[in-house]
Amino acid sequence: MASDGGAVGVETSALSAAAVAPSRVLHLHRGGTSVVIDVDAAFSPVIVHWGESLEGSAPDSLASLAMAARPQRVSGGLDRTPRLSLVATPASGWLHTPGLEGHRNGAGFSAQFEVAGLQSNDHRALFSLTDPEARLAAQLELRLGPSGLLHQRMTLRNTADTAYTVQSMLLGFPVPWDATELLDTTGRHLRERSPQRRPFTFGTHLRESRRGRPGADSTLLLAAGRPGFGFEAGRVHGIHVAWSGNHRVLAERVATGEAFLAGGELLAPGELILEPGATAQTPWVVGSWGDGLTELSHRFHGELRQRPQHPHRPRPITLNTWEAVYFDHTLEKLTALADAAADVGVERFVLDDGWFTGRRDDTAGLGDWFVDEGVWPHGLHPLVDHVTALGMEFGLWVEPEMVNPDSELARAHPDWILRARMSLPPAARQQQVLDLAHPEAYAYVAGRLKALLDEYPIAYLKWDHNRDLADAGSGPGGVARVREQTLALYRLLDELKSARPGLEIESCASGGARVDLGILDHTDRIWTSDSLDPLERLTNQRYTALVVPPELMGMHLTSPVVHSSGRTVALGLSAAVALFGHFGVEWDLTTVDTPTRESISQWIVLAKRIRSTIATGWTIDVDGTDPGIDVRGVVAEDRSSAVFTITQTETTVAYPPGRIRLPGLEPDRPYLLEILSLGDESHDPGQSALEWAQHPTVLTGRMLAATGIRPPVQLPQQSTVVQLTAQH
């Protein structure tokens, strides 16, 4: 052992001497983020820093940073310690999750890329990579968005004269070694994006979606941070796969001192075969970081808001008819509902499921996208004309990717149904999935939707997707189809938006089962969850907003007895929880008495008053509150104002409760506090006045963040809305 140790020492010195030679270092910086890449690292370039801005660092310092990250050789390891390179593979000694896996009919599996070219500026790098022996070439693009998000994408090209089967392409994001706690989300229908945490120990934490869509149980974000990181503090890094089909994300910590996150598309066997000369591109994998989850989320929000297609007009107050009438469609009922909606200030009226041929329940009709003449003998014109005459936009529910076996379409074209065997896949909601990658099926769906858009002034499509894709193939004995299905969906959405400029589309999938930045590149909002229970929605909306800005999240107030949970809730709670998003109503307003209708109208006035702040401001989630109190808000972009909600989810041990903080405002600026809505004033458990609410109370942003205020005494399931306005 002694002689072996001596040998290691001699070789280490030699390696160290060689390592002082100058190396190329690339520094990308934008939006408060720096990415430093050691271009000349062994085998392939390596990201040595992703996170805090290093802008202004001298080239010599950056070269030293790259050198300082290079590991020593150690006993029991390879002669050159492998690292997480841009495309790490076993050929370079990387014995952990690789960046590329594939083969040529079972052989030719090894790949090792070298840099053949590099184009870069201060926020983008395009590496041209080649492996002449494996006869593969790749382009790896890294770019920093305006808010500091790191985007990675790989394009692989087969340069051989034989086919190459791609098994996996993953993009890796190194995280600091002290990031020893993981956060992701899981869930189910009616309870999407429930958070879960665990130690980031050695090994692999893998999350996969095999549902043909992200799924209600998928994680929107996989994050790694310092132990105990919260929303307000604690350095944390996270990644998101911007893709609406099958995908993988993983966190891996290895014994050579590397910790990283990685993500990409999850490919079925044989799903991606590159013929000679063909290319394939990964989805974007997007990484964010921050001192706390709030800062991490603001990078996503800021960048999405700068997209050219981002909706910038005020988000219309929306009423959806589903929970009001379900399948019971009559002109009399729906025009009365439209009247009631217009009366309270609704701006968009959406006719949900049940309007098309044979659709009297959920067992039949999907695919037959013609207005049911038995229910609508004059088409939808009488309803649409009535809605638009009231000054509201008209929206329509569709589920174009689906088909009921009990439909004229399925009987005429059973070959258009996704399946891998002679028998159909297991049914879900009595429906199957239409193969949009089939040219004739695609043309039929596109044609029917365009015909509806041509006939009616439809401003909005509620685009639903109510089942997972199981055993999705191109036909008996055919090829796996999820990838092509997803790409066809994107084409269809773009085609419809091109045909009808100004058309807005909502992504709904059994509620929130298809929430990702891939679908949001082609749509205008997501339906956050089919659960409108405000207490359930608090958690769902908080963790959806890690990636999705609030104006793209559908949030509706609901009826007093919540349809999904049976819980009885007050209007004030339901409306307050729905304020910080794209506000709407899911309720049969024709059954509502006059005082309640007036209250709904007042909440809609408030929603309209603050919606510009919601659509441009910064979300705030407050850490350290009593377990029975939820505090969150939105601060105006210029910090001139803010709106917070203080929600009592359960009783607290402290009574009256201790002070709460309202962070996120300009520290030395004074703010006037005003209660806009106080819980349920008819059931106020406080036995004396809340003094600060009775007098003009002005506190600085620093005071509000450090010390805070006493919240009102509230019963469980009450919420108070507080406005803060900067004083001159």
Convert the pLDDT of each residue in 282-340 to its tens digit. 999 999 999 999 999 999 999 999 999 999 999 999 999 999 999 999 999 999 999 99
pLDDT value at position 222? 99
Residue 15 has pLDDT above 90, yes or no: no
Mean pLDDT of the chain: 95
* Mean pLDDT to the nearest integer, 686-712: 96
**Amino acid occupying residue 376:** W
Cβ-proximal residues to 411 (8 Å cutoff; 6+ apart), any chain: none
Reduce the secondary structure of 454-484 to three states and give it as a string: HHCCEEEEEECCCCCCCCCEECCCCCECHHH
> In the predicted model, what is the mean pLDDT of residues 114-126?
97
User: For residue 419, what are the contacts with CB-CB under 8 A and spacing of at least 6?
Assistant: 425, 432, 471, 472, 473, 475, 476
**Whole-angstrom distance, CA of residue 508 vs CA of residue 402:** 13
Confidence of residue 518 (pLDDT cuts 50, 70, 90): very high
Token pair for 54: 């290093």
The answer for residues whose C-beta is within 8 angstroms of residue 545's C-beta and 6 or more apart is: 297, 301, 553, 619
Query: What single-letter amino acid sits at 254?
Result: V
pLDDT at position 71 is: 95
pLDDT of residue 138: 98
Question: Which pLDDT score is estimated for 680?
Answer: 64
Beta strands, E only, 87-246? 100-103, 114-120, 124-131, 136-144, 150-158, 164-169, 171-174, 181-188, 191-199, 203-209, 222-225, 235-241
- Pseudo-torsion of CA 437, 442, 443, 444, nearest 10°? 140
- How many other C-beta atoms are found inside a 10 Å radius of the C-beta of residue 686? 12
178 part of the active site: no
422 CB neighbour count, 10 Å cutoff: 8
Residue 584 CB partners (closer than 8 Å, separation 6+): 317, 318, 319, 320, 346, 348, 554, 555, 556, 557, 578
The β-bridge relationship of strands 279-281 and 150-158 is antiparallel
Closest CA to 171 of 201, 134, 143: 143
Contacts of 226 (CB under 8 A, 6+ apart): 178, 179, 180, 181, 234, 235, 236
Q: Quick check: 471 pLDDT over 50? A: yes
Percent with pLDDT over 70 in the chain? 96
Per-residue pLDDT, 681 = 63
Over range 113-122, report the average pLDDT: 97
pLDDT at residue 346, as a whole number: 98
CA distances from 516 to 235, 246, 465, 525, 548 (A): 24, 12, 14, 11, 8
Collapsing DSSP to helix, strand or coil, 611 comes out as: helix
d(Cα 392, Cα 713) in Å, to the nearest integer?
39
Contact of 708 with 661, CB cutoff 8 Å:
yes
CA angle at 206 for the pair 201 and 209, rounded to the nearest 5°? 160
Catalytic residue among 184, 368, 372, 464: 464
Residue 389: Cβ within 10 Å count = 10
pLDDT at 249 over 70: yes
Q: Which of 217, 368, 530, 630 is catalytic?
A: 530
Task: Give the mean model confidence (pLDDT) for residues 519-546.
Answer: 98
C-alpha torsion sign, points 73, 74, 76, 77 = negative
Say whether pLDDT at 17 is over 90.
no
Instruction: Tell me, yes or no, if 464 is annotated catalytic.
Output: yes
Predicted pLDDT at 670: 98
Structure tokens at 264: 């990409």
Using pLDDT thresholds of 50, 70 and 90, give the confidence band for residue 679: low
Q: Say what the pTM is.
A: 0.95
Closest CA to 112 of 131, 128, 84: 131
CA–CA gap between residue 713 and residue 526 (Å, rounded): 34
Q: Residue 609's pLDDT is what?
A: 97
Q: What is the mean pLDDT of residues 173-177?
A: 98
38-42, 161-165, 449-453, 590-594: range with lowest mean pLDDT: 38-42
Note the residue count of the chain. Answer: 728
Taking residues 229-235, what's their average pLDDT?
Answer: 98
Q: What is the pLDDT of residue 728?
A: 85
**308 Cβ contact list (under 8 Å, min separation 6):** none
Distances (CA, A) of 74 to 9, 12, 124, 656: 10, 9, 35, 60
pLDDT at 682: 66
Q: Please name the amino acid found at residue 220.
A: L
Q: Distance between CA 181 and CA 179 in Å, rounded?
A: 6
Q: Quick check: 29 pLDDT over 50?
A: yes
Does residue 629 come out as left (phi exceeding 0), alpha (psi in the -120 to 50 range) or beta?
beta
Exposure of 529 by Cβ count < 10 A (0-12 exposed, 13-18 middle, 19+ buried)?
Answer: buried
Distances (CA, A) of 24 to 38, 39, 45, 201, 376: 6, 5, 10, 33, 70
CA dist., res. 629 & res. 718, Å (int): 10
**What is the rounded distance in angstroms from the CA atom of residue 117 to the CA atom of residue 606?**
56
Compute the CA torsion angle 595, 599, 604, 609 (nearest 10 deg). 130
% of the chain at pLDDT higher than 90: 95
| Cα–Cα distance list, 384 to 325, 350, 370, 416, 457 (Å) | 17, 10, 15, 32, 8
Cis? peptide before 656, omega within 30° of 0: yes
The answer, yes or no, to whether residue 12 has pLDDT greater than 60, is no
pLDDT tier at 18, thresholds 50, 70, 90: very low
pLDDT at res. 13? 32
SS3 category, 134: coil
DSSP 268: P
Give the tokens for residue 181.
Answer: 């706690």
The Cα–Cα gap between 627 and 648 comes to 9
pLDDT given at position 301: 98
At 16 the pLDDT is 37
Model confidence pLDDT, tens digit, residues 53-68: 999 999 999 999 999 9
How far from the centroid of its chain's Cα atoms is residue 190's Cα? 17
Residue 279 φ then ψ, to 5°: -125, 160
